[in-house]
Amino acid sequence: MLRHGVPGRCHVLMLVLCLSAAEDFQWTKNEWGAFYYGTFPTGFSWGAGSSAYQTEGAWDKDGKGMSIWDVFSHKKGKILMNDTGDSSCEGYYKVKDDISLMKDLKLTHYCFSISWPRLIPTGIKSDHVNEKGIEYYDNLINLLLESKITPIVTLYHWDLPRVLQDKYGGWQNISMVSYFNDFANLCFERFGNRVKYWITFNNPWSTAVEGHETGEHAPGLQLRGTGPYRVAHHMIKAHAKVWHTYDTQWRHKQKGLLGISLSGDWGEPVDITNLKDIEAAERYVQFSMGWFATPIFHGDYPQVMKDYIGKKSAEQGLGSSRLPTFSAQEKSYIKGTSDFLGVGHFTTRYITQKNFPSSRGNSYFTDRDLAELVDPHWPDPGSEWLYSVPWGFRRLLNFVKTQYGNPMIYVTENGVSEKTLCTELCDDWRIQYHRDYINELLKAIKDGVNVKGYTAWSLLDKFEWDEGYSERFGLYYVDFRNKNKPRYPKASVQYYKRIISANGFPSQREVESWKRKATETCSTSNQLLATDPLTSHMEMVTEIVVPTVCTLCILLSAVFLMFLLRRRN
- Rounded CA-CA distance 229/94 in Å is 38
Q: How many CA atoms within 13 Å lie on the side-chain side of 407?
A: 26
CB of 203 to ligand NOJ, least distance (A): 5
Report strand pairing: 38-39 vs 504-505.
antiparallel
Site string for ligand NOJ, 369-408 (x = CB under 6 A): ----------------------------------------
Q: Within 10 Å of residue 295's Cβ, how many Cβ atoms?
A: 24
Min CB(327)–ligand NOJ separation in Å: 31
Strand partners, 267: 349
Answer yes or no: are the C-beta atoms of 153 and 195 closer than 8 Å: yes
Q: If binding is defined by CB under 6 A, does position 67 make contact with ligand NOJ?
A: no
Closest CB 63 distance from ligand NOJ, rounded Å: 25
From residue 21 to residue 60, the character string flagging contacts with ligand NOJ as x (rule: CB under 6 A) and all else as - is ------------------------------x--x------
Q: Interface with ligand NOJ includes 188 (CB under 6 A)? A: no
We find the least distance from the C-beta atom of residue 321 to ligand NOJ, in angstroms, to be 28
Nearer to ligand NOJ, 52 or 238 (CB): 52
Position of minimal CB gap to ligand NOJ: 2
CB of 46 or CB of 112, closer to ligand NOJ: 112
- Closer to ligand NOJ by CB, 263 or 286: give it: 263
Least distance (Å) from ligand NOJ to the CB of residue 387? Answer: 13
- Residue 47, beta-bridge partner list: 109, 455
Cβ of residue 457: shortest distance to ligand NOJ, in angstroms? 6
- Nearer to ligand NOJ by Cβ, of 54 and 338: the residue is 54
In the stretch 189-228, what mask flags binding to ligand NOJ with x, by CB under 6 A? -------------xx-------------------------
Minimum distance from residue 383 beta carbon to ligand NOJ (Å): 6
Q: How far is the CB of 473 from ligand NOJ (least distance, A)?
A: 6
| DSSP per position, 290-329 | IHHHHHHHHSS--HHHHHHHHHHHHHTT-SS-SS----HH
Q: State which residue, 87 or 202, has the beta carbon closest to ligand NOJ.
A: 202
CA distances (Å), 354 to each of 21, 28, 282, 468, in order? Answer: 15, 18, 14, 33
CB of 339 to ligand NOJ, least distance (A): 21
The SS3 assignment for 161 reads strand
Closer to ligand NOJ by CB, 477 or 514: give it.
Answer: 477
Q: Which is nearer to ligand NOJ, 321 or 383 (CB)?
A: 383
The H or E element spanning position 182 is helix 176-191
Least distance in Å: CB of 337 to ligand NOJ?
Answer: 21
Cβ of residue 4: shortest distance to ligand NOJ, in angstroms?
A: 8
Considering only 210, 268, 372, 413, the residue that binds ligand NOJ (CB under 6 A) is: 413
> 10 Å Cβ neighbour count for 439?
23
Our CB check for ligand NOJ shows the closer of 3 and 435 to be: 3
Please count the residues of this chain forming the interface with ligand NOJ, following the rule CB under 6 A. 11
Q: Is 348 in the site for ligand NOJ (CB under 6 A)?
A: no
Q: Which residues contact 551 (CB under 8 A, 6 or more apart)?
A: none
- SS3 category, 40: coil
Instruction: Please name which of 174, 155, 136 lies closest in space to residue 242, comparing C-alpha atoms.
Output: 155
End-to-end Cα distance, the chain: 36
- Whether 480 and 83 have beta carbons less than 8 Å apart is answered as no
Closest by Cα among 207, 182, 394, 214 to 288: 207
When asked if residue 473 is in the footprint of ligand NOJ (CB under 6 A), the reply is: yes
Rule CB under 6 A: choose which of 91, 170, 295, 344 binds ligand NOJ: 344
CB of 202 or CB of 432, closer to ligand NOJ? 202
- Of 307, 183, 184, 209, the closest CA to residue 263 belongs to 209
Percentages helix, strand, coil for the chain, rounded to the nearest 5?
A: 50, 15, 40
Instruction: Walk across the sheet containing 348-353 and list its strands.
Output: 266-269, 348-353, 370-373
Interhelix angle 491-502/428-447, nearest 10 degrees: 20
CB of 346 to ligand NOJ, least distance (A): 6
For ligand NOJ, the closer CB: 263 or 337: 263
Contact status: 263 vs ligand NOJ (CB under 6 A): yes
Residue-wise DSSP of 363-421: -HHHHT-EEEE--TTS---SSTT----HHHHHHHHHHHHHHTTS--EEEEEE---B--S
Would you say 186 or 209 has its CB closer to ligand NOJ?
209
Of 240 and 386, CB closest to ligand NOJ: 386
Q: CA–CA separation, 531 vs 100, rounded Å?
A: 9
* 427 vs 464, beta carbon nearer ligand NOJ: 464
Kindly list the residues in this chain that would bind ligand NOJ in the complex (CB under 6 A).
Answer: 1-2, 51, 54, 202-203, 263, 344, 413, 464, 473
